[in-house]
Amino acid sequence: MKIALAQINYHIGNFDQNLKKVYQSINQSKSLGAELVVFAELAVSGYPPRDFLEFDDYIDKCWLTIKAIAKKTKDIAVIIGVPTRNQNVKGKRLYNSAVFIHNQEIVSVHNKGLLPTYDVFDEYRYFEPGNEFNIINYKNNKIALTICEDLWNIGDNPLYTINPMDELFKRKPDCIINIAASPFHYNQATSRKNTLLKNVNKYKLPLIYVNHVGAQTELLFDGGSLVYNSDGGLVSELKYFEEDLKVIELDNVIGFKEKVIQSNEPSKISLIYDALVMGVRDYFDKLGFRKAILGLSGGIDSAVTAVIAADALGAKNISGILMPSEFSSDHSIKDAQLLAENLKCESDIISINDTYTSTKDSLIEWFKDLVFDVTEENMQARIRGVFLMALSNKFGMILLNTSNKSEAAVGYGTLYGDMNGGLSVLGDVYKTEVFELAKYINREKKIIPENTIIKSPSAELRPDQKDSDSLPNYDILDQILYQYIELRKSPKELVKMGFEEALVKRILKLVNTTEYKRYQAPPILRVSEKAFGMGRRMPIVAKYLS
């Protein structure tokens, strides 16, 4: 039996476009001789649909789409993910389901048994877990159909009390098919493959895995759909960060006639770069925008953001605005201009001096003889934010926020100023990783000026300012932040690791007392295992470590 793996970039709630893509994949699969085409988890609705699932009209549209797909299955079968209604009086109103369609009929419905409710996942908010697990019989093959998390309850620390694949294995299947919506982080491909291989090794069955690709606001999906034979040999792997379709001959996989291939193992930084480019491109495309605007400071954060945006949208669609003040250095302006020239993107200079002076004069009666402090620094940042948002509104461009994760973590940013934006590109990238991205960008050709990379980071909001005046060196800061945010290490554990106790207390206090700023930040493209946003839910008013 020939099986097509259809790896598609779905758009949540865009039923017409999603249906068109499904049709195209079915037709392409037929032309390649496939007898079954497999789509991803919740393909019809897009993932994650969140509270759209609470609308009956949304669920009705999902089922109208399924009925339309069924009409195309005269000469081919389809497995596809869709939310279905729970007909029982008790329990949640929906299931996260996969349907098997053949000969223009919905032959069977298979409900996801394990519902992830952690980090970015919140499936038990909407779905009832399935408790019956049945085999699909098709073309003399018995298929164990599972949905994403159904294969993840394996290993030494199970999260759930049941294992759907154990139940399906009792029915002696010939292969496993897993349809998934597995969000990207830079370790996810390795983690995912390890989990899938554990299933292959446990059940001694070939495994066909189909994942989403594309960005859904902050969640990025890397694709990487694949096929393992029952010995754990990789016999097919689809592209990363791109739509793709491949047909495999199941009999050849079962009979070990398919050649084992080497898996693609890109570097962490290249994965992050490709994910961010895809994230920016999809955010604009799915919102119907084409042009981006950002502040170009001559610093490394804005430079890396500009390059990513130009790669995603085309340099002609990027507008970089230089907004010097009395504290801006000449080399920062020159570095920003050189970057724009290297990218061949539009750039303009708008001085904030007159507006800053006017604002100070308007407040002189209240400020009187009070000394210059962070207030005046924030005024400059907010003036820049006003200018950028005005241009964004007037010319229909999305403002890209350029803050990095290190700054966001400790609140080193100005609300309604440099924290403005419709999308945060680097908000899940530590400052040390931003430097690595800059070097990666320049690996073949010098795009980011060398001075931008080697000079000391500075907000340039007061004379001779350096980030190190307010923060420890980023190589130390980022280690503490990573251990606390990603690995959830306690203060005592951090001190045992060799970090100075006073510094640990100071940094953790900054992280926890500036939650209110992150709560008002733009959506952040997620590339790590613990990003700020939907996957990290902290109270704003709290006393812990503050």
DSSP per-residue codes, 123-147: GGGTBPPP----PEEETTEEEEEEE
Which residue of the set 2, 35, 41, 123 is catalytic?
41
Q: Is 408 helix (H, G, I), strand (E, B) or coil?
A: helix
Please tell me whether residues 247 and 378 are part of one structural domain.
no
Helix H or strand E segment including 83: strand 77-85
Q: Would residue 502 count as lying in a domain? A: no
Rounded (10°) angle between helices 474-485 and 431-441? 110
What sign has the CA pseudo-torsion 219, 97, 104, 225? positive
- Give the pLDDT confidence of 289-324 residue by residue, as tens digits: 999 999 999 999 999 999 999 999 999 999 999 999
Which residue of the set 2, 62, 148, 193 is catalytic?
148
Residue 507: exposure state from Cβ atoms within 10 A (0-12, 13-18, ≥19): buried
Residue 353: exposure state from Cβ atoms within 10 A (0-12, 13-18, ≥19): middle
- Give the pLDDT confidence of 45-78 residue by residue, as tens digits: 999 999 999 999 999 999 999 999 999 999 999 9
Please tell me whether residues 249 and 282 are part of one structural domain.
no
Look at residues 265, 297, 318 and tell me which one is the last residue of a structural domain. Answer: 265
CB 81 within 8 A of CB 32: no
Please tell me whether residues 167 and 186 are part of one structural domain.
yes
CA-CA distance, 382 to 400, in Å (whole number)? 15
pLDDT, residue 157, reads 75
Name residue 292's beta-bridge partners: 318, 398
CA 457 to chain centre: 27
CA-CA distance, 330 to 345, in Å (whole number)? 21
112 is catalytic: yes
148 is catalytic: yes
Please tell me whether residues 254 and 312 are part of one structural domain.
no
pLDDT > 70? residue 14:
yes
The secondary structure of the chain in percent helix, strand, coil, rounded to multiples of 5, reads 40, 20, 40
Q: Would residue 520 count as lying in a domain? A: no
pLDDT, residue 415, reads 96
Using alpha carbons, list the distances in angstroms from residue 88 to 85, 94, 100, 143, 146.
9, 10, 21, 26, 22
- Structural domains in the chain (count): 2
Q: Would residue 357 count as lying in a domain? A: yes
Please tell me whether residues 315 and 459 are part of one structural domain.
yes
Look at residues 439, 467, 495 and tell me which one is the last residue of a structural domain. Answer: 467
* CATH number of the CATH domain containing 359: 3.40.50.620
Please tell me whether residues 184 and 209 are part of one structural domain.
yes
CB 523 within 8 A of CB 534: no
Average pLDDT over residues 461-478: 81
Please tell me whether residues 22 and 139 are part of one structural domain.
yes
Query: What are φ and ψ of residue 80, in 5° steps?
Result: -150, 145
Please tell me whether residues 257 and 284 are part of one structural domain.
no
Look at residues 199, 234, 265 and tell me which one is the last residue of a structural domain. Answer: 265
How high is the mean pLDDT of the chain? Answer: 95
Residue 110: exposure state from Cβ atoms within 10 A (0-12, 13-18, ≥19): buried
Query: For the whole model, what pTM was predicted?
Result: 0.95
Rounded (10°) angle between helices 431-441 and 300-313? 50
Please tell me whether residues 454 and 399 are part of one structural domain.
yes
Instruction: Provide the pLDDT confidence category of residue 460 given band limits of 50, 70 and 90.
Output: low
CA 404 to chain centre: 15
* Single-letter amino acid code for the residue at 5: L
Six token digits for residue 188: 């996810």
Instruction: Provide the pLDDT confidence category of residue 459 given band limits of 50, 70 and 90.
Output: low
State the CB neighbour count (10 A cutoff) for residue 232.
17
pLDDT > 70? residue 465:
no
Which residue of the set 21, 72, 112, 405 is catalytic?
112
Q: Would residue 183 count as lying in a domain? A: yes
Q: Would residue 289 count as lying in a domain? A: yes
pLDDT > 70? residue 461:
no
421: which residues sit within 8 A by CB, 6+ positions away? 398, 399, 400, 401, 402, 522
Q: Is 178 helix (H, G, I), strand (E, B) or coil?
A: strand
Instruction: Provide the pLDDT confidence category of residue 546 given band limits of 50, 70 and 90.
Output: confident
CB 82 within 8 A of CB 42: yes
* CATH number of the CATH domain containing 260: 3.60.110.10
Q: What domain range is 369 assigned to?
A: 271-467
Residue (of 93, 167, 173, 104) closest to 136 by Cα position: 173
Please tell me whether residues 284 and 254 are part of one structural domain.
no
Helix H or strand E segment including 36: strand 36-38
Residue (of 141, 132, 140, 126) closest to 109 by Cα position: 132
Rounded (10°) angle between helices 474-485 and 501-513? 60
Six token digits for residue 36: 């079954």
DSSP sequence for 326-375: TT--HHHHHHHHHHHHHHT-EEEE---HHHHHHHHHHTHHHHTTPPP-HH
Please tell me whether residues 38 and 97 are part of one structural domain.
yes
Average pLDDT over residues 421-442: 98
Residue 445: exposure state from Cβ atoms within 10 A (0-12, 13-18, ≥19): exposed
Please tell me whether residues 173 and 307 are part of one structural domain.
no
486 is catalytic: no
Q: Would residue 509 count as lying in a domain? A: no
Average pLDDT over residues 265-271: 94
